[in-house]
Structure 1
């Protein structure tokens, strides 16, 4: 049952992405020939007025097939006859929909409550209590950086590797500097801790929406930083997960309840959106780069050359998917 929920959750992310392309194509007067969920052989389809809606057997993606997106057409509704900026709006709409969906999912998931950087508990004898941190303090800075959310504190602790930390807190409208807290290693949790417990907050509607934006912004920044370390060779393949890891992560979240599942789905939606804007052939980002170039220079690039580059990019992505899948099987991502 949890696997089914995982597949359904991933399908929603794909539908949202492709719906972005589909909607902007329609708004720009482009004829959409097929809207497909899944890849590979056809399971079944429904023919609409001008668009075929398909379900394919491999739940690993989807696509929107537009008139003129692979072969030139003289039809004024063909994609190839549209201005580069119109093409750009159609292509970028997919990743944007993934970000919008993440905001929505995080906002809904906040109904269970979320942790804010107001200190709810400082266990006696722990480094934070010894350093003068008190219940009710509001953490405003971590190692010189402004603290926007509890996740910023957690991320800072995870990357600090046991070194002393410096925080600033607001106490009775006064900013107090806590110059040095030396974390202690917790063998049971296998991580460094200082003994600071945040406060669970139950938001109203407006606070939930604000949380959705803030959480999405945090994970966009974190995901972007991860891809940067990955492409610069500073990250290991051990940190990369493929379809099996995604399914396992989502399935585990489903076991914990609907709100954890929504949070994980939002996180994956952000990763999907960010990955797709990477300026690489066959990805949305490759087309985004192309159409921006064409809009600025007003120069057309030979379609055959574009096709060859995209074909090579697609082969590379398929090979990468196979490598990640094999890594998933032989060396599963430790979640």
Structure 2
């Protein structure tokens, strides 16, 4: 149960902040955002605030912000329709009832002759048994009512496509950017709580029953030499120990101003096909706001670089698709990390957040990076690509992504049950 809670919190936070980036920048640009969703599929929970419906959906495979002008289906008011109109005190239409008009006895029922709900915002038509054409001004926040469900109209100036190229670019890129910001904040908090690593040849925490503890090393000891080689940084210490697994090494340390000579045999650890030496000590740390900020930037940059290198290996064939993980694999990894403590779980969440940000920036259809590629083409050619063609490309891309997710999830299941 603890793993389920941890997974839900991490997944929810990653998707929430990603979509929050889209939402905030879209709203700042004046775009009508119809829905802010965590997950896909059937709604589990929802509430409406201002113009936006906030929902949690059943399938934990992402999220979305549904912006006006990007809706897969729109409701049109066409000539010949019989509709009901509710007006405010300024004689502006605030509700357009498309069916079940008998439930609104105060509505004025007309047969539509002409309507424009995007630019001129009007409806013209004839009331029953009347020959005079009447023209009604439509309020910019009027709603369409069908089967009792209300949908706010989207004047063109509130639609995604009406905004400048810069505004649209910022609204899309803000999602991945928020994932990097979230990772930075988590690493900053870890620095404040745990301390930030310091590149000094000084011991941090010593693991119980480790080769270092059995040899008598203590936290705060300063290492001067290893096997006669002078060391001055933590990187020097790690580099020498890594290449001498299960080989006895002589250490000269300084404790409270007194030099001490010790013999230590590093244990052996493996990562993939690599074997390296370890003695069971952590790097020294310091606590402070400035060092924590630096740790946030350093760790975010480091993991960004590592993930980009991993993706480049996938592209060049050095990394197999079988090594990718989907939701099931991430859940299993989260289970293992959760058992090692909350700090490691926070660090895992930060790494996943960076990974989500980078993946979404890839120039693939249906991803944020794919949208940005279309914007780049638009900037070069001076006009946008036909919306239907772009939509078809994103639809196909989304279908392939879903197929890839199914393959990766199947691999995860096989890997877990074959262990």
Residue 254 of structure 1, CA deviation: 2.6
Distance of 2:6 and 2:31 partners within structure 1: 34
> Who is 2:356 aligned against?
272
Q: How far apart are the structure 2 equivalents of 1:238 and 1:310?
A: 25
How far does residue 133 in structure 1 lie from its aligned partner after superposition?
A: 3.7
Does residue 112 of structure 1 match 2:194? Answer: yes
Contact 1:118–1:198 (Cα < 8 Å) also in 2 = no
Query: How far is the alpha carbon of 1:61 from its aligned partner?
Result: 1.0
Deviations 1:138-174 (A, max 9, x none): 15789xxxxxxx8xx79xx6xx9x9xxxxxxxxxxxx
Instruction: Specify whether residues 187 and 333 from structure 1 end up closer, same or farther in structure 2 by C-alpha distance, changes over 3 A only.
Output: farther
Q: Which one of the candidate residues 226, 230, 233 is aligned to 1:138?
A: 233
Question: 1:277 touches 1:283 (CA, 8 Å); kept in 2?
Answer: yes
- Alignment partner, residue 174 of structure 2: 93
* Contact map agreement 2:31 2:159 (CA 8 A) in 1: yes
Identify if the C-alpha distance between structure 1 residues 70 and 306 changes in structure 2 by more than 3 Å, giving closer, same or farther.
farther
State the Cα distance separating 1:10 from its structure 2 match. 1.1
Give 1:131 shift: 5.4
Structure 2 CA distance for aligned equivalents of residues 22 and 79 of structure 1: 12
C-alpha displacement of 1:231: 1.6
Specify the alignment match of 1:178 in structure 2.
Answer: none
Q: Contact 1:85–1:291 at 8 Å: present in 2 too?
A: no
1:248 Cα offset (Å): 2.1
Counterpart in the other structure of 1:181: none
Q: Distance in 2 between matches of 1:194 and 1:334?
A: 29
Alignment of 1:283-322 (within 5 A): 283-322=367-406
Aligned partners of 1:119 and 1:196 also within 8 Å: no
Match of 1:243 in 2: 327
CA contact (8 A) 2:7 2:334 kept: yes
- Separation in structure 2 between the aligned mates of residue 269 and residue 333 of structure 1, nearest angstrom: 27
Structure 2 partner of 1:145:
none
Deviations 1:97-154 (A, max 9, x none): 0000000001112221344332235978xxx8225144xx115789xxxxxxx8xx79
How has the CA–CA distance of structure 1 residues 188 and 225 changed in structure 2, closer, same or farther, with 3 Å as cutoff?
Answer: closer
Q: What SS does structure 2 have at the residue aligned with 1:58?
A: strand
Cα distance change of structure 1 residues 133 and 6 upon mapping to structure 2, 3 Å threshold? farther
Q: Map 1:35-114 onto structure 2 (within 5 A).
A: 35-70=36-71, 74=119, 75-110=156-191, 111-114=193-196
Following superposition, the deviation at residue 325 of structure 1 comes to 0.0
Give CA deviations for 1:262-296 in whole Å, capped at 9, x if unaligned.
Answer: 11100000000000000000000001111122123
Instruction: Report whether the alignment pairs 1:214 with 2:298.
Output: yes
Structure number with larger C-alpha Rg: 2
The 3 A distance-change label for structure 1 pair 278 and 185 is farther
* Greater RCO, CA 8 A, separation 6+: 1
Once superposed, what is the RMSD of the aligned Cα atoms? Answer: 3.0
TM-score by length of 1: 0.80
Distance 1:195 1:8, change over 3 A: closer
From the superposition, tell whether residues 307 and 206 of structure 1 become closer, same or farther in structure 2 (CA, over 3 Å): same
Mapped contact 1:35–1:52 kept (Cα < 8 A): yes
Distance (whole Å) between structure 2 residues aligned to residue 199 and residue 47 of structure 1: 49
Q: If the length of structure 2 is used for normalisation, what is the TM-score? A: 0.64
Are 1:84 and 1:292, in contact at CA under 8 Å, matched by a contact in 2? no
Q: 2:36–2:65: 8 Å Cα contact kept in structure 1? A: yes
Counting strand residues as a fraction of each chain, which structure ranks higher?
2
Contact kept? 1:104, 1:212, Cα under 8 Å: yes
Confirm or deny: 8 A CA contact 2:268 2:278 kept in the other structure: no
